[in-house]
Structure 1
């Protein structure tokens, strides 16, 4: 196999900050890193070519690039700078012009190389009988198999340098308690290089003097399941890359038909999509314009019934962005914000309602403005129509369409590019918005100040499909 130097990009810094009622706000300024790049015609051309492909082909390209060592993100078919750089690097390494646009011949070469690499390590997707998780395992490298003494299964290399475990946590355990216990391990020289705890999962990764380790636990109503891998630093150039492939394959609670067996899964199982009815998972976010009016850029065309909290939307004006007219008065008030035009590379916050597994919350995701009509950020379901606010507290615009299902790799939400309806177009289209948007009464010096202004002025939108 032609192993390239590892390019893991699984480490993301995050700041979680609770803001007082009526809602909790989760703030995450550190994703993504600020961008200072001007619009690049080469990237735009590569984006157009990539997005013209069927989704299965787009995912297949990213999966192939994981195996060539050029990509370390989630294989979700979404174009971003990391995907562009990975395709360009692959072309360069194979003696082709590095345009970032893969021809049919390029894609065939990529898939052939990926198949060869997968075959060389015997990478198979298995559904583990002991733990119930679905996982990709390099069976030729981890030829020894048996039970994990702590529950679950174990695959190990013949020389003992690599160990891959699955496990099920005891019934009385919680993610928080297991997380704390893993952080408290005092092995000499053990250093945690990355950690993240969320309501439904946690990830801890790090190093020891001789090796590396990566652990992920996921929780649901049915229990807590996990996998972990530890490996000697002498095999890191090979296994750093395989950790990305394994993490991409991990499904803690597969829903495939038939009995659970420890053998290659003929059809990979996938998690159930989030529910978008009954207010359980917000479909989008809206900006209050008056007692009975809400503005949103969320794609509502396919919704049979639209609700904002317990009130039904009785009329929709426009073809997007939409001005929603309610059947009853709303709690809240128009935002004390001023409209602004964003500069390339400017940092911003996207305020949106979502469900992170611990109930409905107002979430704030960091974003970087790419141009006047797009941003890059780690957005989740519920961010469609969400206001984009500058660090100074000005309204830059509304997110057009965000993901309809959760996107994560190893528990990390990857950044992607999203369209934005600029504030100036909104004020032209809806004159009432221009009269409402005014400069804040007091300067906003922190994200908490912005959240204090925004939280009473936006609402979650749900729809019945």
Structure 2
């Protein structure tokens, strides 16, 4: 099994900075005795014996195209499992991060992603990126390229020599800065950034001929300073944030630092990623996802409609309400349901703390979210539009539907946190569906990974909306 990954807050910034130094952009990802290696397998001072599990994971990872390898590492950053530089190269941290992700999502922790697992990881990373509205683009004021979590930092202004992005309450600030050749040098900036002050403690410094990094703390906050030198002068950024936001900002520091390109003309830069706005499930505009439906049989779709619904549509086609429970909003629709495997009902309600998977309809396809059953509902970072989303156990059996969702996402430091959402359970489903209820499985179903569950049932999840 992979060794446990340290929490992001522990040693985060030194790890992130050190990865930049490895020759050729390859991460300095650690050495030492491999997981599972017996003590004494190698003589002191000799190289550690090869770990066949690690080497198999390396071979599987390196067999993928570079763009896919980078996408996996980027998704691991957003999933909170990886705290180093996105390079597309494989090392111990990538191996452990994949294992940690698999462990959290019910996998075996092998460090090898199958197609379904890779898709689930990429979807989870993209969902977190969208929740932050993280946009990588050139800064016109300085010429550098940087990623900005625009949902957290919506305020933008020009400042002398650069740009400033800030949170509405001023507790998080990102400043870019450019200096023309001859205005100053890296030594002077480093001395200024590391100067002692009674209300400021420097926690980490690194200086090389072409770049510098300084991190530290104040009584109420944390900061990260980075500058690079080149023929065009000096370019860099400073990120400062309140300690109350540190849990989420420590992850965003990684994403911002990984996106930073001081002189984009000297290296290829990935094009800015499109940022999808979060649909408002209360909006009747054409194409908006109001909620989620689950195919339970031929032309049968079950969903939750908290309020009146004129002109219901499922999967983009007109639908008709067959039965509805006014108390819970649980509704059975007749419509052009796609041919897809239908979920089966679990034999019994799950217990609080049990790991579950929610499949919600999104603007670009099903959104896979992992969570846990909680007293009164399901604890998960669900997006608006997840009302009616099926909640499944690790065997892919239906435990209930998400009862309702707020019309706007509640964000913490720009990222959607897990919240407890009410659940329409098995008894209500059986009562409403009656003869349309999916038949229970004939034999016990083995546990599966979240990716396998999603891969089996994603085709049975459809968007539902009200209105013409």
TM-score in terms of structure 2 length: 0.49
TM-score in terms of structure 1 length: 0.49
